[in-house]
């Protein structure tokens, strides 16, 4: 069966499994959890402790809580991306097995946040994960530079470090190319939060 909120495609199997888990919560908790995820999708940092406290009596392990948050995020982002109306989303969520009260709660939250989520998705459309910080150091005894990126991995709200070794000349070329891209983005009136932190 094809669903509009999935871009007229089938629902992923993992998503159907998580909808069964969501169905076991009360509709009030499902709504609160969905609002929590919606606020994250509009730019707020997500508080996993708050999510865990909402689900404390469900006795779900933390990995299942994250999977559940991911499935709610999928509903909200996909429904926003494919401009799925509140009534249509409610009907489709019931078709994938959510009780009527739960489907109504999720569809209402989506309706309330859809415009803000869509704007945030457009702004971050070229970003897989958010870049939190960049640091560098010269490697002793060589001309090479170690570059370390601190990446925020979305719902986990935790940073992971990605390090690489680069030649200074290549890094300078990369910065030059990024400056050209930023100029083109600005020229065409698109917003950007890319900032160059100075020369290396």
Express each pLDDT in 134-172 by its tens digit. 888 888 888 888 888 887 665 545 567 888 888 888 888
Whether pLDDT at 176 is above 50 = yes
Residue 59 DSSP SS3: coil
Question: What are the tens digits of pLDDT across the range 92-142?
Answer: 999 999 999 999 999 999 999 999 998 888 776 655 566 778 888 888 888
Would you state the structure tokens that stand for residue 89, as one six-digit string?
A: 């989303």
Q: Name the band, by pLDDT with cuts 50, 70 and 90, for residue 68.
A: confident
* 8 A C-beta contact, residue 5 and residue 79: yes
Q: How many residues comprise the chain?
A: 200
pTM for this structure? Answer: 0.62
How is the chain split into domains, by residue range? Answer: 4-123, 130-187
């Amino acid at each position: 069966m094809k669903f509009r909120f999935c871009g007229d495609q089938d629902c992923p199997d993992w998503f159907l499994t998580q909808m069964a888990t969501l169905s076991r919560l009360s509709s009030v908790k499902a709504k609160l959890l969905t609002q929590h995820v919606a606020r994250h999708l509009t730019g707020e940092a997500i508080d996993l402790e708050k999510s865990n406290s909402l689900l404390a009596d469900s006795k779900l392990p933390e990995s299942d809580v994250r999977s559940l948050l991911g499935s709610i995020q999928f509903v909200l982002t996909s429904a926003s991306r494919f401009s799925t109306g509140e009534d249509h989303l409610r009907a489709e969520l019931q078709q994938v097995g959510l009780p009527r009260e739960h489907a109504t709660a999720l569809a209402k939250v989506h309706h309330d946040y859809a415009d803000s989520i869509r704007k945030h998705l457009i702004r971050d459309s070229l970003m897989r994960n958010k870049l939190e910080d960049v640091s560098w150091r010269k490697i002793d005894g060589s001309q090479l530079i170690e570059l370390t990126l601190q990446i925020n991995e979305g719902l986990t709200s935790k940073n992971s470090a990605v390090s690489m070794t680069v030649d200074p000349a290549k890094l300078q070329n990369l910065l030059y190319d990024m400056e050209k891209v930023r100029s083109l983005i600005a020229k065409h009136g698109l917003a950007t939060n890319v900032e160059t932190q100075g020369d290396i």
